[in-house]
Structure 1
Amino acid sequence: MPEGPEIRRAADEIAQVLEGRVVERVSFAHPPLRHHGKRFKGRRVEHVETRGKALLTHFDHGWTIYSHNQLYGVWHVAKRGSLPDTKRSLRLRLTTASHEALLYSASEISVWRTDELDQHPFLSRLGPDILNENLEWRTITALLEEPRFAGRQLGALYLDQTFLAGLGNYLRSEILFAAGLHPSMTPSELTRGQLGRLARSTLDLSRRSYLTGGITNPPARARKLEAADASFGQRRFAVFEREGLACYECGVRIERIDISTRRLYLCKQCQQAPNAGARQRGL
């Protein structure tokens, strides 16, 4: 599933061809939505926004198209009339005089009045967006200390969109590794220093992934790997999808475990599980 950085990059591309432009046609594939096409015809797109993994296309008459890619959805931008060569099912098509924004394979699309979006069952439960430019690491630290989150294992918490919107599977593995924390630990067990390091890692790696197109490795390491002719996939991550390979920090082999039915990768040397007798704050 695309995570927050990927959805934001897709939104940036869509915004370039839609924002400020009149949409001449909007086509919905799902029968219950088809009648909404007339509602948007001839309207101007004011803003393309992301909230976590959801994408919102706002129009000038107070209506918004909500979409969530789920596991298989993908956006394409193309010149008008030039559809990409794909076997995917086209779910949403927004056409301007010169371009088209095309959403394939997504199963969650709906139409809302913009002023009623706070009633959306998914959006209403979201935590702060990890790519919100005003989000600070101290805010994340405060969230980690809230009673509703403080007692939960990090491996599960870092997939919960009510905690932080936009986090997902690869970011979870990469952030916990960067912070040197085992996924079985809970925020309530962390020292102030560990909380701060986790909060900063959360913010830094999410933003790095957005800016680099998905690379979470430190820039110096990524450049070194690129100079050694490593492929994009080989230089992206420190631990994610590197099961059996040596940890860049200590040389121990990366392992894969499953938490919340999702795969998580870690280095058990750099992210040691706390001892039973040391599972108290500050120890």
Structure 2
Amino acid sequence: MPALVSKSLRDYRRSLIRWTIGIGAFFTLYLSIYPNISENKEIYGAQALAKYPGALRDLMGGMEDFTSGIGYLSSVVYQLFGPMLFVVCAMLLGNRAIAQPEEAGTLELTVTLPIDRRRLVFERFVALALGLLAVAAATFLLVWVLSAVSDMGVPADRILAAHTGVFLLGLFFGVLALTVGAATGRKGAAMAVVGVVAVGGYIVETMGKNVDWISWLRWISPFHYYLDGRPLHQGFPVGDYLVLAGATAVLLITAILAFDRRDVGV
């Protein structure tokens, strides 16, 4: 493993452990109450949830039957809160790649080392991807075990498909933060861009299904390529995930070129 990747992962170690524990605690909390929810069809069943306002149901992905394993995982775990936790985790890791050390004044020392700038950005990306993958792998195993213990009846391959989507979505936003940081050297700018794209993209994807004048924007929302394929119901949406991966690759190339041409003060 390249030295810069190893060093970056060591630097991220405590943060990755905290995020794994935090996301794991979230999943544990919500999955542990599923047995109680599944027994209350009059409150959490499809007919009861249909009484909620349409806009609220749209924002929550339609609010499927919470008493079914797939419906509960889809609406509560993988619709909004789980993905957003991964997005924030990836954004912070992406900021630590370029923008944060540049603002702290430590990036200048790294740039003076005998390492090509393009390689520096790429290896920071590799560290980001590996770190996020570790969090995703650990939390996938947790969800798989807890869903089996709670007798949710969701196949492991469907959970893997949904978790893969969460990882790819998080990686996209992590690289978006890295790209903005590589272009500007400002972590505040990176956080602002990620926040706008994440919140706006989610609203457009969920509300755009029933609001005609914004429906066309769904195609440029990263959440569309995570949610539209319904991985818990239909398995791996290969085409959608390839779009997410391709968009991430384009952002990475942009980050490499932007950082290579920018004055970092050395």
TM-score clears 0.5: no
Q: Which has the higher strand share?
A: 1
Q: Which has the higher contact order (CA 8 A, sep 6+)?
A: 2
Whichever of the two has the greater Rg, that structure is 1
TM-score (norm: length of structure 1)? 0.31
Q: Which has the higher helix share?
A: 2
